[in-house]
Amino acid sequence: MNITGILIATLVVSVIGLFIGLFLGVAGIKFKVEVDEKEEAVLAALPGNNCGGCGFPGCSGLAAAIAKGEAAVNACPVGGETVGAKIAEIMGVEAEAGEKMVAFVKCAGDCDKARVDYDYTGVEDCQMLSFVPNGGPKSCNQGCLGYGSCVKVCPFDAIHVVNGVAVVDKEACKACGKCIEACPKHLIELIPYKSKYAVACSSTEKGPVTMKECQVGCIGCGICVKQCEHDAVSVSDFHAAIDQEKCVGCGACEKKCPKKSIVSL
């Protein structure tokens, strides 16, 4: 190959390269995706668990909502006040004081206290037990099934099945809400971390029925209501409930509960 051919080939390759470079440069400018610097900073401040406890599709979804002003700066239940303060600084606003919440299982009917109708052998998944007789082997069909659907979805190892009942470790719980969604009996709720007492039962059966099914089931007797001087306890559908905003933690209801359905936390 002579020198002329080499020069022509080099020139052609150079022109093609220059054309491609110009084309990519123009395309990059035309189709450039604008990045919100605040959104990126907020995303970096979030813990990155992508648990969905904030109600948005992962941390990126929450970051976008915060940057647009569609979510509170302390909306991340996992990050808590520390992360909320960092994001507030990024957004240039004041962080509102948020109350720490934890999950609570409204059932204490473990293997020693709850009556069992039959021995179950099969898939150990609470959601699958809706297809078996009475919704599970326990006589109380409103109690914890104890097969750990909530345990499987918890990303923080904050809930475990102990003697047939799910129990929450309040120090490890981040209030993401995944266990609440997973429980087919709807036994788990979020309560303030500072709560002193709660009703560990969800049964709405009449007293005689509940007493046959579980030793610690709430019978709706109303003794707790009479003992409370702060109007924090009520009974509806044969079931007691504590208003945590009114409760002062005196413990009078727990001391007088004949079935020990009210527990200290």
Structure tokens at 248: 């002062």
Only one residue has tokens 């904030």, namely 54
Tell me the CATH architecture of domain 195-265.
2-Layer Sandwich (3.30)
Q: Taking Cα atoms as reference points, which of 91, 53, 50 lies closest to residue 72?
A: 91
Gap between the Cα atoms of 222 and 233, Å rounded: 9
Domain 37-91 falls under CATH 1.10.15.40: yes
Do the bridges between strand 188-192 and strand 239-242 make them parallel or antiparallel, or are there none, so unpaired?
unpaired
Query: Hey, what CATH class is 100-194 in?
Result: alpha beta
**pLDDT tens-place values along the chain, 265 residues long:** 567 767 677 777 777 877 787 777 776 666 655 556 888 888 888 888 888 888 888 888 888 888 888 888 888 888 888 888 888 888 888 777 678 899 999 999 999 999 999 998 888 899 888 788 888 899 999 999 999 999 999 999 999 999 999 999 999 999 989 999 999 999 999 999 999 999 999 999 999 999 999 999 999 999 999 999 999 999 999 999 999 999 999 999 999 999 999 999 9
Question: Is there a common fold for 37-91 and 195-265?
Answer: no
Structure tokens at 148: 């750990």
Gap between the Cα atoms of 181 and 67, Å rounded: 28
> Would you tell me how many other CB atoms lie within 10 Å of the CB of residue 20?
10
Gap between the Cα atoms of 200 and 256, Å rounded: 15
Q: Where are the domains of the chain?
A: 37-91, 100-194, 195-265
